[in-house]
Amino acid sequence: MDTPAPIPAELAGRRLYEPIAHWLRGLVQPGLPDAGRLTALLAAAAPDARSGAGRPLRFVHGAPGPDGYEAHVHDHGEIPTREHDWHDFFNALAWCAWPRTKAAMNAAHVREIAARRAAGLPGRGPRRDALTQFDECGLVVTSSDPALLDALARHDWSHVFVERRATLAATMDFRLLGHASWDQLRAPFVGLCARCVHRTVAPDWFALDGAARQRNTDAWLAAAVEAGTLLTAPRALRPLPLLGIPGVTPDSEHPDYYRDTRQFRPPPGERRCA
């Protein structure tokens, strides 16, 4: 007997799918929408969405042109999307939720390609590697408490997720952009990790509703990418075990969960060889 196709709407209530939950809820039929329907979703969600070169966007089934994926999206506004593919489906929804940031990253890729070519440098370079890592598994951690962000940077997981757990909803926001991470979260596994940027805001930011937080974060992140102050190299991205975020797995309700060093590792300087 054939296994029924998954229904995207079943993911809408899960933790970390919040930025794309609105569109997931509307997909109540089994299977994934085709390129035409994804284009219609984007047109409704972000009618001003454009490529890094300002081209109107549409999703197409097929391979990118000879200049590569980023250049094809940038120059033609066509986003190659494989049929029946969850990874590419989540990339389409990332464009719906993060249109300004996705365009800024697309433009940054193409600028970096041109700059390295002009300088005679081989390979992708650290800037493109950081952009790609964040596109695949990026997470914005926003907090009104700089001490909490410092604790995350120190890998003091117990302080953030155990000692301060009761106050996290009012002081810290976890907002996923990485489409590969959404795909992996369909069946979470030990070690699933995001690559993060941290942002400090005033306490009244947390009075915004979810949609306003999303628009605000998209605008902030896009501006930082355009200015070249974020996503400059992979080492600037901070790791965060996704299964440690409250609500992702019920296992994290037990304080001892955060003692599992397979996931919650100490900072590199504190690690010891066996």
Structural contact between residues 199 and 154, judged by C-beta atoms closer than 8 angstroms:
no
Are 253 and 146 in the same domain?
yes
**Helix, coil or strand: residue 138:** strand
The rounded distance, in Å, linking the Cα atoms of 161 and 244 is: 7
| 3 falls within a domain | no
Are 103 and 157 in the same domain?
no
State both tokens at 210: 């979810």
Are 110 and 190 in the same domain?
no
Indicate the angle between helix axes 99-119 and 125-137, nearest 10 degrees: 160
Rg of the Cα atoms in the chain:
19
| 21 falls within a domain | yes
| 66 falls within a domain | yes
The residue from 100, 122, 144 where one domain ends is 122
Are 142 and 215 in the same domain?
yes
Mean pLDDT along residues 178-183:
98
Is the pLDDT score of 192 beyond 70? yes
User: What is the pLDDT of the chain when averaged over all its residues?
Assistant: 95
The pLDDT value given to residue 67: 86
Are 28 and 151 in the same domain?
no
Is the pLDDT score of 274 beyond 60? no
| 2 falls within a domain | no
For residue 201, give every residue at least 6 positions away whose Cβ sits within 8 Å of its Cβ, in sequence order, or none: 142, 143, 144
Are 148 and 117 in the same domain?
no
The residue from 87, 102, 122 where one domain ends is 122
Are 254 and 146 in the same domain?
yes
Lowest mean pLDDT among 139-153, 189-203, 255-269: 255-269
| 210 falls within a domain | yes
Q: Residue 80 pairs with which residues in a beta bridge?
A: 60
Are 90 and 144 in the same domain?
no
| Residue 45: C-alpha distances to residues 11, 66, 99, 142, 153 (Å) | 19, 30, 9, 23, 34
Is the pLDDT score of 113 beyond 80? yes
User: pTM of the entire structure?
Assistant: 0.95
Lowest mean pLDDT among 2-6, 71-75, 94-98, 109-113: 2-6
Are 117 and 140 in the same domain?
no
State both tokens at 54: 């300002």
The pLDDT value given to residue 267: 79
The residue from 56, 90, 122 where one domain ends is 122
Are 199 and 153 in the same domain?
yes
Structural contact between residues 161 and 252, judged by C-beta atoms closer than 8 angstroms:
yes
Is the pLDDT score of 273 beyond 90? no
Mean pLDDT along residues 182-207:
97
The rounded distance, in Å, linking the Cα atoms of 240 and 66 is: 36
The pLDDT value given to residue 269: 61
The pLDDT value given to residue 66: 85
Structural contact between residues 131 and 107, judged by C-beta atoms closer than 8 angstroms:
no
Lowest mean pLDDT among 32-46, 58-72, 127-141, 241-255: 58-72
| 274 falls within a domain | no
| 185 falls within a domain | yes
Q: How many domains does the chain have?
A: 2
Q: What share of the chain is helix, strand, coil (3-state, %, to 5)?
A: 55, 10, 35
| 1 falls within a domain | no
Are 221 and 92 in the same domain?
no
The rounded distance, in Å, linking the Cα atoms of 125 and 232 is: 10
Closest CA to 77 of 101, 103, 100: 103
Query: What number of residues does the chain have?
Result: 274
The residue segments making up the domain with residue 36 are 8-122
Is the pLDDT score of 2 beyond 70? no
Are 157 and 114 in the same domain?
no
